[in-house]
Structure 1
Amino acid sequence: MMLRQQLVLVFGISLATDPCTLRSCSSEAQVSWYCNCNLTDVPLVPKDTVKLFLTYNYISQVTATSFPLLEHLLLLEIGTQYVSPVTIGKGAFRNLPNLRVLDLGNVKILHLDLDAFVGLPSLNVLRLFGNDLGDSILEERYFQELVSLEELDLSSNKITRLQPHPLFYNLTVLKKVNLKFNKISNLCESNLTSFQGKHFLLFSLRSNYLYETDKKAWAKCPNPFRNITFQSLDIGENGWSTEKVKYFCTAIKGTQIGSLTFGVHIMGSGYGFANLKNPDVDTFAGLARSDLNVLDISHGYIFSLNSLIFQSLGNLDSLNVSKNKINEIKNQAFFGLRNLRVLNLSSNLLGELYDYTFEGLHSVIYIDLQQNHIGMIAEKSFSNLVNLKIIDLRDNAIKRLPPFPHLASALLSDNKLMSVVGTKIAAMQLELERNWLANLGDLYILFQVPDLQYIYLKQNRFSYCVKRHNVIENNQLIYMDLGENMLQLVWERDLCLDVFRALSKLQFLHLNNNYLSSLPQEIFRGLTSLKGLNLASNLLSHLSPGLFPQSLTILNLSRNQLFSPEPEVFMTLSILDITHNKYVCDCALKSLLVWLNHTNVTLAGSQSDRYCVYPPAIAGVPLSFLTYEGCEEDELLEELSFSVFVFTSVTLLVFLTAVIVFTRCRGICFVWYKTVTKKIIGSHPQVADQSEYKYDAYFCYSKNDFEWVQNSLLKHLDSQYFKKNRFTLCFEERDFLPGEEHISNIRDAIWNSRKTVCIVTRQFLKDGWCVEAFNFAQSRYFCDLKDVLIMVVVGSLSQYQLMKHKPIRNFLQRSRYLRWPEDYQDVDWFLNNLSCQILKEKKVPKKASVIELQTVATVSHG
């Protein structure tokens, strides 16, 4: 049952409850389904059958020989046949000695032999609803041997008199009798003598014709329920006015009733009918000695709750007056309800709540006021309700909240709240959906509510932020829904970027439908316990590595605009939804395709929900249909087709021959050039001036690239590797102080070096420390007004891949970078060029630097 409810609530999936919808005309695992099988007789079933379903057939007669001996059968459903009448003969079920449940319901016309149920000593439940049965079903001896009968359903028949046969004395365990939707019009003590001494868990006379013509019939009849007690008595939907309810309560004086339902009545004046009477102090006075716990007077026309109307119901635990026309609650209306814990006033016409409205409800725990027209609430309306835990004020017109006691849940959705400033509320669960809240700064106030764990804020108007408070560090929030707002308008202006910073216990966050085109890099910092994040239905096209907390396991990115997301972003997840995005299916998507084919992450949705959008030729093709065999690891170059190669090779043969000869000898030419230069200029290489700086250059690179950097650069430039090298270099593995904060080491290295050389590789772009060092170097560029940053690109990184990173894009707008040569014989030339760049001193125009500094500052804060 719990699984069924979850499927219905979460996924909207409704599972069939009728067993006959699952299978038919077969037997399996002691259950036989023979529904809708065009049967005219009872079929042969296995002897060990426990459940047998025979509904929706053409079986018109059941006799003593219809069933073989089925000693294990516990449940039989044979109602709802396509023929009528259906005749049940003498001893028709005698071969089913252990039957517990017999369903003969919904046969249009049912003919029963007086001895039809003979031989069923173990029967607990008998359903005879909707069978066109008359008074004789109760007045004759049909149930003479059903000594184990606990539940009898005779609803929706044509019974007019309630005068059960004396044999009902023998049904000592009978607990539930359902007589609703009949035509019973009499109810006196003499009618129910066979029920005296019984305690009914449920007794329903709902929707009959009780005393339809005689308004004062209760005065003429003694108590019909004398010596009978009820856990639940339902006499609703009988068209009773205030006078008839009063007569009834007076007539049954002293009868013990746990729950009494008058629901669907005509008590009350409604809206504007003063000639009709609302319940008053005398209406329910006759129930004073009934020890009533639950009273349901919903679905009526009560306009005013008069003073002391419930004063005689001191033991009442739950009161339901929903779906009336209540517009007025008079002073002391609830006096006497000293033990009331649940009050339902929903779906009425209340417009104001006053200080005296709930006086006398000292024990109330839950008040339901949803779907009224409440716009004004007095300051002390709830202040004296010290035991109140749940207040439901959804779907009203509230603009300002009064103080509340400490609550478990405050349900305030669908109102007109524009701000929570000055609100005095303490609750574990706070629902504020579909209000008019627009200032994201109000969240800093809500986060200070003591013990707040769940907050629902979707479908508000959050679009700007004026911060008034900081979030308390011991915040207890574990669930927050901010879906369907306009947070993009807030964060694109760099406002309230620390709104989640102190929510260290938050586990689930919804940010769907917020028009988000990008996410600030630090927005989720501090969410160290975050498990689930919903970013569905936004405009996200790119996700930066390191954006999400390491604790994240569930991520919903469906219906965004992701082109080619990097799989590194999803490494911590166990459940991921990336359906219905706008994938560009080229070689840049290779890494994602490889990951999708090998990941253990549970992917939501079907494979057809992840499809190409571009290029148009393959739009709509699922990603699972794509192959990446034609894509090299180097994403910059595309593989030339064989046919093009054959076509161009002959034409270029002579030219390529000449180029190859020159190319193979260019290294020797460069050596000759350096030899001649040394002899002309001098034999000693130029040495950098070290009077101002501790190092000539700080080499910044990813730890994963250290071995290559050492062999290719450090050994040829650093003087501690070889004395003939001219530079004193700084790099992490040798020169960073152990135990010092990493960011401090980076900052000291940059400011103590003449130049900073960033070795940009794929690993560099994924390393947050490297990108941060790049930012620091640019900051010094604007402080010293010198070109102190040298960028060396290694590998097959394209211009597009470099420009995706804002700090690098800003650098490329003013400077050029060096690229590591692909041919080994060009290495000496490159090292010479790099050495010249380290030694060169280049000033920066001050005016231009001020403009660029603003841009870099924006990048750093983003």
Structure 2
Amino acid sequence: MAMRFSFLIQLSIKICFVCASSNICSPCECSSLSQEGCIFMDCSSRNLSKLPAFIPNSTCRLNLQNNLIETLVNDSFKELKNITSLDVSFNSMFELQGTSFAGLSKLEYLDLSSNNISFNATAETVFSPLQRLRSLNISNNTYPMYPRELLGSLGSLHSLTMDVLVTLTAVMLFTSVVLSGICYRYRWNLIYFFYATKLKHKRNTRTGDDSYDFDAYVSYADVDFDFVRNMVNKMENLLGTRLYIRDRDSIPGAPIAENIIDGIRRSRRTVLVLSRAFLRKKWCRNELHMANMESVSTRRSVMIIIMLEDLPRQHIPPEILYDVQNGSFVDYPQEEAEMDQFWRNLQVAVEV
């Protein structure tokens, strides 16, 4: 035991002697931290522009704080597998290379604060070797947002120190992404309920009458207007059905979404004139969504589908795909002899 203790003392003295005799390492101070030969190498405030040429393999703590080091080149610590604590704060570093920390498999504490490191330009794998890292300080550096890709591989990380502004930015960014996703997913619900509430207030203030002003709101693509003109002639002029035609009955100057919802809510049914042009038209799809929301919110059957032409099933919107697959639609007849019956069947469906 005495011989072992004597050997350790001699080893520590020898290491300090080497540190003191090296041109680069000579300012450093080396001291033993344990009976196992663990070395603390203090190279802080020595005006070093690069890593010391000689660092003992038994070093477990390395302090390079407050120097002039500009970069940690690849494999800087490759042979230093025993380091558990590394402090490179208050230097002039502007970059970390892809394998700067290769070999530091036992590192638990890393301080990179108060440098000029641009983490957005840093390789995503730079921290990958640090699987035991528990504490990381990267405050006072350059990163306009949370470096998520860099830190994702640090499974043992318990403590992360960053600038307050960046942390708040990261939280706000994450929150905004989540809220944006929620708003996008439920955008039709939000649009519908916003304008429905607004219109309900207006109607209650104006008339207090909840009866329907129209028998059907007609949703169509502009290129299918000849069909709609014929529909007006047959159903309004001859059969007395009241139709809401957006090009005729919309309120001038009101938002398009408000006019759509107003027309749908004032109508007993919504007739979808389904065609390829309809599926390509943005506002036709919006009308479909709003009619679907009216069905859900009022728990009544609203939509009547007219298949103006044959459409591939994969192009049918999911809101009406079930109805189409189960034959719950009206086919536009190709034979002139069937037209009168078609209009009468449509009138019955609208006024039920």
Q: TM-score, normalised by structure 1?
A: 0.28
The residue type paired with residue 771 of structure 1 is R
Does 2:308 align with 1:828?
Answer: no
User: Cα 1:427–1:728, aligned 2, differ >3 Å: closer, same or farther?
Assistant: same
Q: How many residues end up aligned between the 2 structures?
A: 288
Give the distance between the partners of 1:351 and 1:739, measured in 2 at CA.
Answer: 76
Conservation of the 8 A alpha-carbon contact between 1:696 and 1:753 = yes
Does 2:295 align with 1:781?
Answer: yes
1:717 matched residue in structure 2? 235
Match among 146, 150, 167 for residue 432 of structure 1? 150
1:849 matched residue in structure 2? none
Deviation, 1:403, is 6.2
Match among 131, 155, 170 for residue 416 of structure 1? 131
SS of aligned partner of 2:294? helix
Give the distance between the partners of 1:278 and 1:433, measured in 2 at CA.
Answer: 39
Deviation, 1:725, is 4.5
Give the distance between the partners of 2:58 and 2:346, measured in 1 at CA.
Answer: 81
Give the distance between the partners of 1:351 and 1:708, measured in 2 at CA.
Answer: 86
Deviation, 1:420, is 11
SS of aligned partner of 2:234? helix
2:193 matched residue in structure 1? none
Give the distance between the partners of 1:814 and 1:401, measured in 2 at CA.
Answer: 64
Match among 295, 308, 321 for residue 809 of structure 1? 321
The residue type paired with residue 234 of structure 2 is H
2:199 matched residue in structure 1? none
Does 2:99 align with 1:390?
Answer: no
SS of aligned partner of 1:471? helix
Does 2:64 align with 1:358?
Answer: yes
Conservation of the 8 A alpha-carbon contact between 1:308 and 1:336 = no
The residue type paired with residue 435 of structure 1 is S
SS of aligned partner of 1:449? helix
Does 2:208 align with 1:498?
Answer: no
Conservation of the 8 A alpha-carbon contact between 2:218 and 2:245 = yes
2:220 matched residue in structure 1? 701
Deviations 1:5-35 (A, max 9, x none): xxxxxxxxxxxxxxxxxxxxxxxxxxxxxxx
Deviating above 6 A after TM superposition, structure 1's stretches of 4 or more consecutive aligned residues are 272-278, 417-423
SS of aligned partner of 2:272? strand
Match among 780, 788, 797 for residue 311 of structure 2? 797
Deviations 1:20-56 (A, max 9, x none): xxxxxxxxxxxxxxxxxxxxxxxxxxxxxxxxxxxxx
Give the distance between the partners of 1:419 and 1:767, measured in 2 at CA.
Answer: 55
Does 2:247 align with 1:733?
Answer: yes
SS of aligned partner of 2:217? strand
Give the distance between the partners of 1:816 and 1:830, measured in 2 at CA.
Answer: 15
Deviation, 1:834, is 0.8
Give the distance between the partners of 1:419 and 1:809, measured in 2 at CA.
Answer: 53
2:195 matched residue in structure 1? none
Conservation of the 8 A alpha-carbon contact between 2:93 and 2:117 = yes
Give the distance between the partners of 1:359 and 1:423, measured in 2 at CA.
Answer: 14
Matches within 5 A, 1:40-119: none
Give the distance between the partners of 2:136 and 2:327, measured in 1 at CA.
Answer: 51
Conservation of the 8 A alpha-carbon contact between 1:308 and 1:334 = no
Give the distance between the partners of 2:321 and 2:221, measured in 1 at CA.
Answer: 19
User: Cα 1:799–1:699, aligned 2, differ >3 Å: closer, same or farther?
Assistant: same
User: Cα 1:434–1:780, aligned 2, differ >3 Å: closer, same or farther?
Assistant: closer
2:166 matched residue in structure 1? 449
Conservation of the 8 A alpha-carbon contact between 1:402 and 1:423 = yes
Does 2:113 align with 1:404?
Answer: yes
Give the distance between the partners of 2:233 and 2:150, measured in 1 at CA.
Answer: 64
Does 2:265 align with 1:751?
Answer: yes
Q: Which has the larger radius of gyration?
A: 1
Conservation of the 8 A alpha-carbon contact between 1:755 and 1:790 = yes
2:201 matched residue in structure 1? none
Conservation of the 8 A alpha-carbon contact between 1:426 and 1:449 = no
Give the distance between the partners of 2:152 and 2:334, measured in 1 at CA.
Answer: 60
Does 2:46 align with 1:335?
Answer: yes
Give the distance between the partners of 1:734 and 1:375, measured in 2 at CA.
Answer: 79
User: Cα 1:748–1:449, aligned 2, differ >3 Å: closer, same or farther?
Assistant: same
Conservation of the 8 A alpha-carbon contact between 1:754 and 1:788 = yes
User: Cα 1:838–1:399, aligned 2, differ >3 Å: closer, same or farther?
Assistant: farther
Conservation of the 8 A alpha-carbon contact between 1:307 and 1:333 = no
Give the distance between the partners of 1:808 and 1:829, measured in 2 at CA.
Answer: 24
2:7 matched residue in structure 1? none
The residue type paired with residue 65 of structure 2 is E
The residue type paired with residue 816 of structure 1 is S
Conservation of the 8 A alpha-carbon contact between 2:28 and 2:41 = no
The residue type paired with residue 118 of structure 2 is A
Pairwise CA RMSD of aligned residues?
Answer: 4.7
Deviations 1:751-786 (A, max 9, x none): 111111111112222334323322322222233332
Does 2:22 align with 1:280?
Answer: no
User: Cα 1:698–1:433, aligned 2, differ >3 Å: closer, same or farther?
Assistant: same
Give the distance between the partners of 1:744 and 1:421, measured in 2 at CA.
Answer: 53
Deviation, 1:306, is 5.7
The residue type paired with residue 166 of structure 2 is V
The residue type paired with residue 793 of structure 1 is M
Give the distance between the partners of 2:135 and 2:41, measured in 1 at CA.
Answer: 30
Does 2:349 align with 1:837?
Answer: yes
SS of aligned partner of 1:821? coil
Unaligned runs of 5+ in 2: 1-10, 30-37, 157-161, 188-208
Conservation of the 8 A alpha-carbon contact between 2:64 and 2:89 = no
The residue type paired with residue 229 of structure 2 is N
The residue type paired with residue 407 of structure 1 is I
1:470 matched residue in structure 2? 172
Give the distance between the partners of 2:249 and 2:12, measured in 1 at CA.
Answer: 92
SS of aligned partner of 2:218? strand
Conservation of the 8 A alpha-carbon contact between 1:427 and 1:449 = no
The structure that is helix-richer by fraction is: 2
User: Cα 1:734–1:377, aligned 2, differ >3 Å: closer, same or farther?
Assistant: farther
User: Cα 1:416–1:274, aligned 2, differ >3 Å: closer, same or farther?
Assistant: same
Give the distance between the partners of 1:701 and 1:711, measured in 2 at CA.
Answer: 11
Give the distance between the partners of 1:421 and 1:273, measured in 2 at CA.
Answer: 29
**Percent of aligned pairs with the same amino acid:** 15
User: Cα 1:712–1:746, aligned 2, differ >3 Å: closer, same or farther?
Assistant: same
1:203 matched residue in structure 2? none
Give the distance between the partners of 2:19 and 2:348, measured in 1 at CA.
Answer: 101
Deviation, 1:733, is 1.6
Higher relative contact order (CA 8 A, sep 6+): 2
1:247 matched residue in structure 2? none
The residue type paired with residue 212 of structure 2 is Y
The residue type paired with residue 839 of structure 1 is E
